[in-house]
Amino acid sequence: MDTVSKEQMWIEIINGPNLARLGQREPALYGRETMEDCLERLHAAYDERLRLTYFQSHHEGGLIERLYELQDQRVSGIVLTAGAYTHTSLALADALRATQLPAIEVHLAGLSARAHTPELPHRPRLSWGHHGTRYGRLPPRHRGPHPAT
């Protein structure tokens, strides 16, 4: 079993659908930096006291299974960018509540960037099951034409 020592904090970054294409997908909105570039910067910025891991899935079930695995492995917390599942996945929100993992939800471009999709719920569904939210908090070179909300 993959666990973390008491001295070392373990944070897992979890990305949902379409986020494997960061740097390629809609660069005017999401920027040109890939997730690998971002992870490299994060690893360089933190010392051995932080274990930083990464998981990405285009599938809702894969994200849910990973949350339960992380609960069993006693992860310190997660940073979740769920993509469109932020707006649509009751199952993912239920898993966040069930695991009770410390979680921060991230929206790379801010929710206003999805204003062109009126059928989405006004309040993101995942906000029902986590500890905090960050909107569009990317370095200026990543921000697109939409303001952060």
Strand partners, 134: 106
Maximum distance among all Cα pairs of the chain, rounded to whole angstroms: 46
Using the 8-state DSSP alphabet, how is residue 114 labeled? Answer: G
46 an active-site residue? no
* Selected catalytic residue, list 85, 87, 107, 142: 107
135 an active-site residue? no
* Selected catalytic residue, list 30, 85, 87, 130: 30
Integer Cα distance of 73 and 1 in angstroms: 7
- Could you tell me if 121 and 86 are in contact, meaning their C-beta atoms sit under 8 angstroms apart? no
Backbone angles phi, psi at 50, to 5 degrees: -120, 120
For β-strands 132-135 and 77-81, DSSP reports them as unpaired
Residue 10 neighbours by CB under 8 Å, 6+ apart? 4, 50, 51, 52, 53, 74, 75, 76, 77
Q: Which residues are catalytic?
A: 30, 107
